[in-house]
Amino acid sequence: MIAIRSLTAAFASLLVAGAAMAQTPEYSAFSTDDEANNIEVFKHASPSVVNITNSRIVRSFYSLNPQAVPQGNGSGFIWSEDGYIVTNFHVIQQADSVTVTLQDGSTHAARLQGVDPDKDLAVLKIDPDGLELTPIDAGDSSLLEVGRKVIAIGDPFGLDTTMTIGIVSALGREIDALSGRKIRDVIQTDAAINPGNSGGPLLNSLGQLVGVNTAIFSPTGASSGIGFAIPVNTVKRVVPELILYGRVQTPFLGITQIPQPDYYRRLWGIEGVIVLDVVDGAGPQRAGMRGLRRDRLGRIVLGDVIVEVDGEPVQNEDDLASRLEQYRGGDTVVLTTIRENRRVEYEIELLAPASR
């Protein structure tokens, strides 16, 4: 009898507890800490995420009237309250017109502000008048570690504001940009990234931008668990220049480089950047740097081959361009070259792009 009464009392207490839960609109008690964090990050960051539609103007065979035909879509995010939007270069490449759709469903014509094909980044501009734009919070990609949780938000396959979750699978990867350059220090993640995610944000657990989703490795074209994002520290360096100048202000060294350099590096068994010629009046010429020349028998004689910039090794033209991106016009660098089997150092003042 005592046992039956105990069971009855326990059952009654469960009913009371169940009734209390049914009347409670919040179910946070049933969420894990990780789930609660996912929800919070989505609520915090999703207002900053936009859809981008890329259209081209075509003429129908039966009509002379031009029509805007969508040729693809991707994602992007709000960079600032004055209407700047960041996305991938390949999302808007060859577009005649671009439309940005905000989280409230409103659509806005965008103009191209600037591009950096070498980093697969582009900045668009929409009219901010009357809009409440929510800029994304930019984090610090240098703080990432393998195993950290990351969250991707974008419009895969046109399904707007989709969130996927994964971890940082690897750091320091390299991928090829459309320009042929290498994009370095890329983040690898297993968060599902599909067509349409390109240009969208990769976030950390604080809801901060740590990367821009840009590519996947997949034999089918859909997510296979290997996605890549441009690190936010690269974005923070590039985007302000695209806003101000429309392109990255990489300084000019003052040399011309040899065509098909990989062929000649293999032919001559060397590493480094082969100087084809020096520009008249530029720093390398004034410092005494030499390009290729021919001897009396018509044979090609190597001049300087750049192997270091400020002590950092340079193996090819991509290395040299990546090193120069860290400087501005007027800065002085020390170039180390190999000439006639000996190391030579030159102190060179870099030229601003506008002074080329």
Active site residue 280: no
Please identify which of the residues 118, 120, 155, 160 carries the catalytic annotation: 120
Query: Which residues are within 8 A (CB) of 151 and not within 5 positions of it... i.e. 6 or more apart?
Result: 38, 41, 42, 45, 163, 164, 165, 191, 202, 203, 204, 205
Give the integer Cα–Cα distance in Å for 347 and 335: 6
State the Cα–Cα distance between residues 181 and 325, nearest whole angstrom: 13
What does the alpha-carbon distance between residue 301 and residue 292 come to, in Å, rounded to a whole number? Answer: 6
Query: Catalytic pick from 198, 223, 304, 319?
Result: 198
In whole angstroms, give the CA distance from residue 159 to residue 192: 13
Active-site residue among 48, 90, 169, 190? 90
Side chain identity at 117, as an amino acid letter?
P
Active site residue 120: yes
Q: Work out the number of other CB atoms within 10 angstroms of the CB of residue 21.
A: 11
Question: What tokens does 312 get?
Answer: 């950092």
Burial class (CB in 10 A: 0-12, 13-18, 19+), 268: exposed
Say if residues 90 and 73 touch (Cβ distance below 8 Å).
Answer: no
The two structure tokens encoding residue 34 = 């990780």
Is 44 an annotated catalytic residue? no
For residues 298 and 283, what is the distance between their CA atoms, to the nearest angstrom? 28
- Euclidean distance between CA atoms 82 and 85, whole angstroms: 9
Q: Which residues are catalytic?
A: 90, 120, 198
